[in-house]
Amino acid sequence: MANKSIRWIFNFSKWMPSESDILLATACIQSEEKDRLAKFVFNKDFKSSLVGRLMMRKFINQITSTPYNEIKFGRDDKGKPILINPAPDKTIKLAFNVSHHGNYVVLAGEVGNSLLGVDVMKLEYSGTKSLSEYFRIMKRPFADMEWAEIKGSGSEKEQIAMFCRHWCLKESYVKAIGVGITINLQDICFKINTPVLKKDSLVADTELFVSNIKQNWRFEESLIDNEHCVAVALCNDENLDEENNIIFKELQFSDIVENAIPLLEYDEAYCKQFFEKSYAP
């Protein structure tokens, strides 16, 4: 199978689902996923996680032609979603990853690459501490070169944007290698070569150094809009086609459930609980 790249975004803040939307969507996920969603206190978190699960199912359906109701996901020992059915073909490398933050859920998927991570960040600081105090607390995860880039990027707004961009890069990488934010992040240093990201334009010249040694990884960065950045981490050992620069495509709910086949019975009581949740804190 030829190398194929998928990049999708979904603005869940604009999605105002009807009762029939939620009935269908929650019938198209596995029962253990449904149980996990029920634990969310807020409507916003429920929606973003639900959409992420549906986007994963759409990706597998599109790549493998497996019907929705035959796709089964599990989790590895680190809690990362993995495909159980259809059983992965060991001759074909297949990778996918989902992230959500701010207003968006994003999915990146590849055929022909087994190490992939994606992260999306809203370019804002919404805490109660002063920005200087927040930066003092949050300086530890960054290498000196990164911190100089953040602090030297201009206004407070520009510093926040560069801070979020670096954090997004780190998250995408550690998600790709499957360790989570449990390693010394100061050892992971990104060298930004293109200071400004733009919407509908891909930046792929950011370099990664681990313990001062340059790594053979590719990072695809772009702006979804003026308030959100996204980064995809890909291992360059997988013979990536660097000319295949894929910009994220925005999906609507109708796109996500286009080929959906319910796994479960419709659950009106469960649906009612969703609509009773507050949107956010």
pLDDT tens-digit map of 176-235: 998 755 678 889 999 999 999 999 899 999 999 999 999 999 999 999 999 999 999 999
Q: What is the CATH number of domain 115-239?
A: 3.90.470.20
CB 22 within 8 A of CB 277: no
> What is the mean pLDDT of the segment spanning 138-167?
95
Q: In angstroms, rounded to a whole number, what is the distance separating the alpha carbons of residues 217 and 234?
A: 6
Confidence of residue 114 (pLDDT cuts 50, 70, 90): confident
Domain residues of the chain, as ranges? 1-113+246-281, 115-239
b/e sequence 20-50, b meaning 16+ C-beta within 10 Å: eebbbbbbbbbeebbeebeebeebbbbbbbb
Q: In what order do the strands lie in the sheet with 217-225?
A: 116-122, 228-235, 217-225
Q: Check if CATH label 3.90.470.20 holds for domain 1-113+246-281.
A: yes
Does the pLDDT at position 161 exceed 90?
A: yes
Confidence of residue 240 (pLDDT cuts 50, 70, 90): low
Q: Do domains 1-113+246-281 and 115-239 have the same CATH topology?
A: yes
CB 221 within 8 A of CB 204: yes
Q: What is the pLDDT of residue 182?
A: 60
Phi, psi of 29 (to 5 degrees): -125, 165
> What is the mean pLDDT of the segment spanning 135-148?
93
- Write down the pTM of the prediction: 0.93
Q: What is the pLDDT of residue 76?
A: 84
CB 121 within 8 A of CB 128: no
Partners of 4 in the β-ladder: 111
Phi, psi of 164 (to 5 degrees): -65, -35
Q: What is the pLDDT of residue 1?
A: 43
Does the pLDDT at position 2 exceed 80?
A: no
pLDDT tens-digit map of 16-62: 999 999 999 999 999 999 999 999 999 999 999 999 999 999 999 99
Q: In angstroms, rounded to a whole number, what is the distance separating the alpha carbons of residues 4 and 24?
A: 29
